[in-house]
Chains A and B, each alone.
Chain A
């Protein structure tokens, strides 16, 4: 893990781009996928900062610790993840997290996903099996998500075939992307937010009326 985090080196303070002083509401979207699926690339291509790496301390039981003595006792280990951000307005800023999707990282997800708007599952079709667990878990957790196929080479299968191979529910959006391309990565995020919007509208048909009442 630790060698992997080196590809998103920490910026020197001089190169930091601070948020506006009016920023007061941060939102989260998580990008999950197997090793090398293009998570850091996608985050980096839409982020206004270079992806930053950080880590979380985890106990062997899989619970994030706020207890450094557990670290001292070597009962804990660290897991690296990276993130970028997009300023949405004077008040709102969206943080994008790139997180490994394999089963053994589930404890990291629980921590990061709490409060996330939704997730993007980034799929490398040469290694479809690395996405199964992520999809399964998101579905069980009820976290809204879209699946994006990152095309490292010209695709050899139709999206319908990919949908079948992943056993995706019909309601889950599936699209192609090039994680290196800003516009393409942006479309993936837009697709997710549209999906969220449709779900929010369907699940809370009265919410708009309630909120607009005086």
Chain B
């Protein structure tokens, strides 16, 4: 599979490398793109600035993709940063309840809730 027409961004590699401290370890914790992140701690002086920003951002529940959009970083890089914070007990993660490995389709109650929510829009 070729990636014709999708230029790599020159500015990205070094920046991403720096942000993650050059680690190439996959995160231990599986975050979904819509896992909701909640801070359990205030930013500390001397903390890596991305970590501090995440803690400020997630004072209220914030999805992984929203964190990525706000920080201007790719989702997979944000997941590494979140893994650090989770391990340090500085955030908690609220994972989606619908897990497709367990059920192909969500349960009817959940779907009813979605329908009602949309109808109220």
Task: Please give the residue numbers on chain A whose beta carbons come within 8 Å of chain B beta carbons, in ascending order.
Answer: 1-2, 10-11, 13, 16, 18-21, 23-28, 46, 52-57, 60-62, 64-74, 76-79, 83, 85-89, 92-95, 104, 111-112, 114-115, 117, 142, 144, 182, 186, 189-190, 193-194, 196-197, 199-201, 203-204, 207-208, 211
Q: How large is the interface on B (under 10, 10 to 19, 20 to 34, 35 or more residues)?
A: 35 or more
A54 adjacent to B74 (CB under 8 Å): yes
4 closest A-B pairs by beta carbon, nearest first, are A88-B117, A18-B60, A26-B34, A52-B69
Bound Cα distance from A117 to B98, whole angstroms: 8
Chain A contacts for B26, CB-based, 8 A: 66-67
Shortest distance between the CB of A97 and any CB in chain B (Å): 8
Chain A contacts for B6, CB-based, 8 A: 1, 77-79, 104
Bound Cα distance from A121 to B94, whole angstroms: 29
Shortest distance between the CB of A77 and any CB in chain B (Å): 5
| B66 at the binding interface (Cβ < 8 Å) | yes
B2-39 CB contact bits vs A (8 Å, 1 = yes)? 11001111001110110110111011000011111010
B101-114 CB contact bits vs A (8 Å, 1 = yes)? 00011111111111
A68 adjacent to B105 (CB under 8 Å): no
Can you list 18 A-B contacts with CB-CB less than 8 angstroms, sorted by A residue number?
A21-B60, A23-B36, A23-B94, A54-B75, A60-B1, A61-B1, A68-B22, A68-B23, A68-B77, A69-B22, A72-B13, A77-B6, A77-B8, A78-B6, A78-B12, A115-B98, A144-B105, A199-B105
Chain A contacts for B113, CB-based, 8 A: 88-89, 92
Shortest distance between the CB of B119 and any CB in chain A (Å): 7
A193 adjacent to B118 (CB under 8 Å): yes
Bound Cα distance from A152 to B9, whole angstroms: 33
Shortest distance between the CB of A192 and any CB in chain B (Å): 9
